[in-house]
Amino acid sequence: MFRQLQRRAVRRRPFPDAWLATLRSQVAAYMQLGAAQQAELQKRILVFIKEKTFEGCLGLEVSDTMRVVIAAQACLLELGRRPHYYPDGVSIFIYPSAFVSTLTETLPGGMVARREVVRIGEAWRRGSVVLAWDATLQQSCGLLPGHSVYAHNAYAHNVTLHEFAHKLDGEDGSVDGVPDLGGLDGLGPNRQAAHATWAQVMSRAYRELVRQVQAGELSALDPYGATNPAEFFAVATETFFASPLTLKHTEPDLYKVLSGFYGQDPANWPAPERRR
Ligand SMILES: [Zn+2]
């Protein structure tokens, strides 16, 4: 109750001019929203930045630009839904660039192996999200593949949306590609119907991506989504927001289900460039 009152007060605060300039120049998605959506996103950004901790790694000094760019995209995912503000994600760690992460794996026979991987983003099961700032900013600005140092293929990438999609997925207790689907009008009249529709469409699309990857065929979604259902949900989310027209055209059922879940229709955002 106290938290709700506190959030209501924060939402009423004026949105700083410098932050608005950041949204307009560094967050491509913001410029594609209608005026009412932009106003609501600003209020949610105020709450998100008030409640979350941002920490720079390897000597990186966290700026307001970083806070606003990351908050805008995290809040964009929830913009068509009642916001939860990622209740278990309280800290965002920001590296200047790609970082090395140590993975621990238990091999058959019980041996534990450690290996190092280079990453631009990570979502921890409890708590934190880790992001590489250069990739985060480039993708927020909507740089096309070929103009970004991290674009290793022709797919639309957005590491911030990807990692926060994992956080949404985990809100029901497990990161398994099935987020909490309760009360979604867009997916069916009740929870059971929503689950059935989700399971049918998502599993068909996932199986098709796995088949395409194994057959070496060109796919609408980044092949990384074939890793497992959780990565499929995160990759599909990136494509839904970063390349909505392509997804709607190539995977209409998947687009419809994601549109129902997110309560948004980015293929029809009222931005002038999308009307052409
Ligand atoms: Zn992932």
Measured in angstroms, how far is the CA atom of residue 154 from the centroid of ligand 1? 18
Asked if residue 271 lies in contact with residue 31, where contact means CB atoms within 8 angstroms, the answer is: yes
The pLDDT of residue 147: 44
Query: For 176-276, which CATH class?
Result: alpha beta
pTM of the complete model: 0.91
User: How is the chain split into domains, by residue range?
Assistant: 11-95+124-154, 176-276
In the 8-state DSSP scheme, what is residue 60? P
Q: What φ, ψ does residue 121 adopt, rounded to 5°?
A: -165, 155
Measured in angstroms, how far is the CA atom of residue 159 from the centroid of ligand 1? 8
Measured in angstroms, how far is the CA atom of residue 178 from the centroid of ligand 1? 14
Q: What is the mean pLDDT of each run of 10 residues along the chain (276 residues)?
A: 91 98 95 94 98 96 98 96 86 94 84 88 87 94 55 76 94 89 69 87 96 93 95 96 91 94 90 45
Measured in angstroms, how far is the CA atom of residue 197 from the centroid of ligand 1? 23
Query: Burial code of 5-38, b = ≥16 C-beta within 10 A, e = fewer?
Result: eebeebeeeebeeebeebbeebbbbbebbeeebb
Q: Which of 128, 149, 129 is closest to 137 using CA atoms? A: 149
pLDDT digits (tens, 9 = 90+) for 95-113: 999 999 888 888 888 888 8
Determine the CATH number of domain 11-95+124-154: 1.10.472.150
